[in-house]
Amino acid sequence: MGATGYRNWRVMQSYIDLLTPYIPIAMPFLFAPLAAGWWLQTAVPLWFEAHREGLLYAYLTYIVFVRFALLDMMLFYVSRKHKSIHLDLLQIVFLYLEITAVTLMFFALLFNLFGVFELFSYNGAADAQQLAAMQGHGLRLSLYISMEMFTTLGAGDWVPRTLTAMMAAGVESVLGFIQGGVFFAVLIYAHQGGKTGNR
C-alpha cells in the first residue's frame, strides 16, 4: 500500500471511529425509504402496483446493504478499541438489540406496505372466524411473521405466496442467522481481548 493509500485508509478509520458511537441515534432514520414507499402507494397507486416487485427487491437490497454496513462498522470499531472491555460489551449488546429491533420492524412494515395477506397465505389450524379477525390486524400479523422469519423459527402457519415473498422471507432469515453468529463471535472476541488485556 502506497503513502496515499495508507492516508486514505487512516482517514476512513477515523471516520468510522467518529461515526460508530452515533449509530444507535441514527437507527430510526433507516425507516425513511419505507415512508417514501407509503407516500408512493398513496400518491401514485397505479405506478406503485406496476412497479411492486421491483420496489420490494429494492427494499430488500437496501436493508441487506445497510445491515452489513452497520455490522462491519461495529466489528471494525470494537476490534480497534482497547478501553474498558465491559463498556465495549455493553455497547455491543445494546447496538445488537437495536439492530435486531430495527430489522424486525423494517420487515414488518415492509410486509404491511406490500400487503401481508398478498405476500403470505395462512396454513395453520385457525378457523375461518379467527382468520377473518386477523384481517384487521395486518401490522401485528406482519410483526409476528417477521419474528418467525428473523429467528428462523418457521412455525409453518404462514407461508410465502409469491417469489418476491419467498425472497423476502429468505433474506430476513439469513440476516437473523448471520446476526446471531456475528453477535456471539464478537462477544467471544471481546471476552478474549479482556483476558489478554488483564495479563
pLDDT in tens, 88-147: 666 777 777 888 888 999 999 999 999 999 999 888 777 777 777 777 788 899 999 999
Using a 10 angstrom Cβ sphere, with 0-12 exposed, 13-18 middle and 19 or more buried, the burial of residue 21 is exposed
Q: Is 6 part of a structural domain of the chain? A: no
Containing domain of residue 63, as a range?
Answer: 42-198
Q: What is the largest CA-CA distance in the chain?
A: 70
Q: Is 15 part of a structural domain of the chain? A: no
Q: Is 12 part of a structural domain of the chain? A: no
Which of 27-31, 85-89, 116-120 is predicted least confidently? 85-89
Q: Which one, of 182, 180, 198, 199, lies nearest residue 85 by Cα? A: 198
Domain of residue 110, CATH code: 1.10.287.70
Between residues 166 and 29, which one has the greater pLDDT?
A: 166
Q: Is 94 part of a structural domain of the chain? A: yes
**Which are the contacts of 165, defined by CB distance < 8 A and separation ≥ 6?**
119, 120
pTM across the whole model: 0.77
Question: For the chain, how many structural domains are there in total?
Answer: 1
CA separation for the pair 181, 199 (Å, rounded):
28
Q: Is 17 part of a structural domain of the chain? A: no
In this prediction, residue 8 carries a pLDDT of 65
Q: Is 108 part of a structural domain of the chain? A: yes
Q: Is 107 part of a structural domain of the chain? A: yes
Mean pLDDT over 35-58 rounds to 93
Q: Which one, of 90, 92, 110, 111, lies nearest residue 100 by Cα? A: 92
Tell me the range of 18-22, 123-127, 177-181 where mean pLDDT is highest: 177-181
**In 73-197, beta strands by DSSP E:** 120-122, 158-160
CA separation for the pair 66, 28 (Å, rounded):
13
Tell me the range of 57-66, 122-131, 146-155 where mean pLDDT is highest: 57-66
Q: Is 26 part of a structural domain of the chain? A: no
Mean pLDDT over 165-188 rounds to 84
pLDDT-based confidence at residue 191 (cuts at 50, 70, 90): low
Mean pLDDT of the chain: 80
- Angle value at C-alpha 83, between 82 and 87, nearest 5 degrees: 125
Number of residues that this document lists for the chain: 199
